[in-house]
Structure 1
Amino acid sequence: MAHQQRSVERRRGTSPEGTAARQELLLRSAIAVVGESGMRGLTHRAVDRAAGMPEGTCSVYYRTRLALLTALGSFVAAALHADVRALGAELPSPTDDAGVDRAVSATTQMLLRWSEHPDLIVTMSELVLEAARTPSLSEPIIAWRSDLIEVVDGIVCRTEQPGARLRAEAIVAALDGVVLSALLATSKSDRPAYLRRMVTLVLRGIIDADLHEYKLN
């Protein structure tokens, strides 16, 4: 999430060089707008103001609100997608309790990085809701979530528990709530301990659940 770790630049009277640089600035500024004002506050004019660019700039690159939302969804999903791939690459094979502990630690670190950028998390949450109303926005969101499910599925499979895919989907759904609750229910200093507790409970609880008891397998 390297490009998300930089703060939104507010360049009054100047413009970054090149189309790609301007588009990135506009989309990072759109994240800041959604984080502050919600999806209702996302307008071309608000993005221009947040980016410190002349009025009308955003509409040059994204002529309609749907075009802006589509680009924003792809941009945010790409940031999360990169982190998920990095998580998959660094995970050990959790064939025992120590392996699961390392998986918990790696997952916690990823969620901590996400929680350091609350505007990003708020924007993705808003985009998920928007995609439920506008299916054309769903493709990048589905793609990064599918990647995360695949990574978690790999963790569960290596524990040799049945119903790995179902467990993985349940874990990812639960982690959505964990990230949001970490932003709402904790201070920044308490967040690492909170996330580790929640990730441990979610991963171990769902991995160890008896699916037959719930008639899910």
Structure 2
Amino acid sequence: MTTAKVTDTGGRADTRTLLLDTAIAVIAEHGLRGLTHRALQEAAGLKHGSVTYYFKTWDLLILAVVDRMVEIEKDRSGPVVHDLVRSLAVRSQGQEAEPDYDRIAALLQQWWTASRDLLLARFELDLAGARQPAVREAMARCGAEFRRAAELVALAAGSPDPELDAQVLVKLIDGLMLDFIIRPPQDLRHLSLGLRHAVEAIRHDHAP
């Protein structure tokens, strides 16, 4: 099994982070049912009882996994959100140049390629949330983080209702992301065109 990359903390891998990154890789490879304390400690190469020391129950482990996913993706999504918001803000100041959607799509491709295991794990957890309230609540927190980023994009695009437009934008991006993950290789033009349609729809729907 390929384990997730571990954060470097001063030259030594933090055990808790190692477990969470490995948990993401286990979910991506085997699904949520494959994530047990025993399977996780074996995949992480740790001694018996290591997982229980940090996460007494499976539910606590899942909550921590979701928080770790948000932490990683906030860092990786930053360049995409910044680039898009900056481009839209410049245009709102009277400059009619369109955002460089090809460049932003390339950033999306880099982000999603680097995050393939994490995104697979996210989709697994989203599906599990349809049946398990605890997982659903955790994933709702995860989704809220991305909606906040999408609200910045909606505001920069001139939306008078950024909360609503952010929810729609996230759903459209989620569709592109799912297609990217399950149907590789993905044509970069699909990402560029999809992103353009999603963002420009906000501007046109609310044009004076």
- TM bin, normalised by shorter chain, reads 0.7 to 0.9
Residues 120-168 of structure 1 deviation map (CA, whole Å, 9 limit, x = unaligned):
10112223344452254246414412322222222322xxx55443223
Partner of 2:150: 149
Unaligned stretches of 5+ in structure 2? none
Q: CA deviation at 1:116?
A: 3.0
**Distance in 2 between residues matched to 1:162 and 1:70, nearest whole Å:** 34
Does residue 1:202 correspond to 2:203, yes or no? no
Quote the RMSD (CA, aligned, Å).
Answer: 2.9
Does residue 1:115 correspond to 2:113, yes or no? yes
* Amino acid in structure 2 at the alignment position of 1:146: R
Q: Is the 8 A contact 1:107 1:199 kept in 2?
A: yes
What is the TM-score normalised by the length of structure 1? 0.74
1:98 alignment partner, SS class: coil
What is the TM-score normalised by the length of structure 2? 0.77
Partner of 2:65: 72
Partner of 1:13: none
Does residue 1:98 correspond to 2:94, yes or no? no
Q: Is the 8 A contact 2:27 2:121 kept in 1?
A: yes
Q: Is the 8 A contact 2:169 2:198 kept in 1?
A: yes
Match of 2:37 among 33, 44, 50: 44
Unaligned stretches of 5+ in structure 1? 1-5, 10-15, 212-217
Q: CA deviation at 1:174?
A: 0.8
**Distance in 2 between residues matched to 1:75 and 1:26, nearest whole Å:** 10
Q: Is the 8 A contact 1:8 1:32 kept in 2?
A: no
C-alpha distance 173-104 of structure 1, shift in aligned 2 (>3 A):
farther
**Distance in 1 between residues matched to 2:203 and 2:59, nearest whole Å:** 39
* Amino acid in structure 2 at the alignment position of 1:182: F
Match of 1:63 among 56, 67, 83: 56
Number of residue pairs aligned between Structure 1 and Structure 2: 192
* Amino acid in structure 1 at the alignment position of 2:153: V
Q: Is the 8 A contact 1:128 1:138 kept in 2?
A: yes
Q: Is the 8 A contact 1:167 1:206 kept in 2?
A: yes
